[in-house]
C-alpha cells in the first residue's frame, strides 16, 4: 500500500454493503463504505483526520479478507492512452488521385399500388324498431263494456238514481281509477242499501276489474 494506492470494493465487499452477509463490525463497514475506486489512500487518510491510523489498519484488514482490491494498476492502464502524445501525421508524398465518382444509384421502382380487395358490403346497421305508442289502458282492459257492467252493478245496488257515483265512474280511465272508485262507493251503498248489498257489490266489482 502506498499513498497513491487506489482501492475498490470487490464483489464480496459489494455483497456485504448490500446484504450484510458477512456481518462486518461497524468500524470496518464504515471503512468499506469510504472505498470508492476513485480516491487514493492519501486522500482517504486526509479525510479520516484523527482516525487516519485506525483507518489504515481497517483498510489492510479489508484487503486481507478480500472485501477490497487494489485497482491502481488498472487505473494506470486506463489513463495511459489519455496522456500518450499524439503522433505527428506522416507527410504526403504525392497528391492522391481524385476518386472516381460513384455510379448513380439505379432508380427505385415505383411501388405498385395494391389492388383493392373486394369485400362483401357490410350489412346495414340494424335500426331498432320505433316503439309503438302505448295504448291507453281504458282502450284495452277498461273499455266501455267494463264500465257498463260496473254501471249495472251500481244500479242494482242503488237503483236508477246513481248520482255522483255514476258520474265518477264515467271519469275513470284505468284500473287504479276503477279500484279507487269501487272502494269509495261501497260506503254510500252500505248507508243507502245496507251492508249485504254493499258487500255483494264490492265482491262482484273487484272480480270484474281483476282486483
Distance of alpha carbon 10 from alpha carbon 37, whole angstroms = 10
For residue 113, what pLDDT is reported? 60
Instruction: Categorize the per-residue pLDDT at 139 as very low, low, confident or very high, splitting at 50, 70 and 90.
Output: very low
* Residue carrying C-alpha cell 489498519: 57
For residue 189, what pLDDT is reported? 86
pLDDT digits (tens, 9 = 90+) for 104-137: 666 666 666 656 555 555 555 555 556 665 545 4
pLDDT digits (tens, 9 = 90+) for 31-62: 999 999 999 989 999 998 898 899 999 999 99
Encode 35-47: b = buried (16+ Cβ within 10 Å), e = exposed.
Answer: beeeebbeebbee
For residue 78, what pLDDT is reported? 47
For residue 69, what pLDDT is reported? 94
Highest average pLDDT, of 83-87, 134-138, 174-178, comes from: 174-178
* Residue 184 and residue 172 in contact, taking contact as beta carbons nearer than 8 Å: no
Mean pLDDT of 69-79: 66
Distance of alpha carbon 50 from alpha carbon 46, whole angstroms = 9
Highest average pLDDT, of 81-85, 101-105, 109-113, 166-170, comes from: 166-170
For residue 8, what pLDDT is reported? 95
Averaged pLDDT of the chain: 77
The partner residues of 70 in beta bridges, in order of sequence, read 7
* Residue 10 and residue 66 in contact, taking contact as beta carbons nearer than 8 Å: yes
Highest average pLDDT, of 15-24, 72-81, 95-104, 130-139, comes from: 15-24
Please tell me which residue, 85 or 27, carries the higher pLDDT value.
27
For residue 7, what pLDDT is reported? 93
Task: Give the closest residue to 71 by CA, choosing from 2, 8, 12.
Answer: 8
* Residue 169 and residue 154 in contact, taking contact as beta carbons nearer than 8 Å: yes
User: 73 is written with which cell numbers?
Assistant: 494498476
Rg for the chain, CA atoms, rounded: 55
Strand, coil or helix: what is 24? coil
Task: Give the closest residue to 13 by CA, choosing from 66, 57, 59, 75.
Answer: 66
* Residue carrying C-alpha cell 479520516: 48
For residue 86, what pLDDT is reported? 56
User: 35 is written with which cell numbers?
Assistant: 472505498
* Residue 146 and residue 209 in contact, taking contact as beta carbons nearer than 8 Å: yes
Instruction: Categorize the per-residue pLDDT at 65 as very low, low, confident or very high, splitting at 50, 70 and 90.
Output: very high
For residue 126, what pLDDT is reported? 55
Mean pLDDT of 129-154: 63
Amino acid at each position: 500500500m502506498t499513498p497513491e494506492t487506489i482501492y475498490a470494493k470487490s464483489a464480496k465487499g459489494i455483497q456485504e454493503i448490500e446484504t450484510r452477509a458477512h456481518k462486518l463490525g461497524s468500524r470496518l463497514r464504515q471503512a468499506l463504505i469510504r472505498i470508492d475506486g476513485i480516491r487514493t489512500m492519501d486522500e482517504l487518510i486526509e479525510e479520516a483526520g484523527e482516525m487516519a491510523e485506525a483507518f489504515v489498519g481497517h483498510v489492510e484488514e479489508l484487503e486481507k479478507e478480500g472485501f477490497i482490491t487494489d485497482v491502481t494498476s488498472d487505473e494506470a492502464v486506463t489513463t495511459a492512452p489519455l496522456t500518450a502524445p499524439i503522433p505527428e501525421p506522416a507527410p504526403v508524398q504525392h497528391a492522391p488521385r481524385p476518386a472516381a465518382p460513384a455510379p448513380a444509384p439505379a432508380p427505385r421502382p415505383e411501388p405498385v399500388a395494391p389492388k383493392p380487395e373486394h369485400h362483401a358490403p357490410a350489412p346495414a346497421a340494424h335500426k331498432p324498431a320505433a316503439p309503438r305508442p302505448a295504448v291507453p289502458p281504458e282502450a284495452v282492459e277498461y273499455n266501455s263494456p267494463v264500465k257498463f257492467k260496473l254501471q249495472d252493478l251500481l244500479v242494482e245496488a242503488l237503483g236508477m238514481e246513481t248520482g255522483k257515483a255514476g258520474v265518477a265512474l264515467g271519469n275513470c280511465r284505468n284500473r287504479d281509477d276503477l279500484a279507487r272508485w269501487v272502494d269509495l262507493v261501497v260506503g254510500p251503498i252500505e248507508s243507502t242499501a245496507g251492508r249485504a248489498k254493499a258487500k255483494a257489490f264490492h265482491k262482484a266489482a273487484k272480480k270484474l276489474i281483476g282486483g
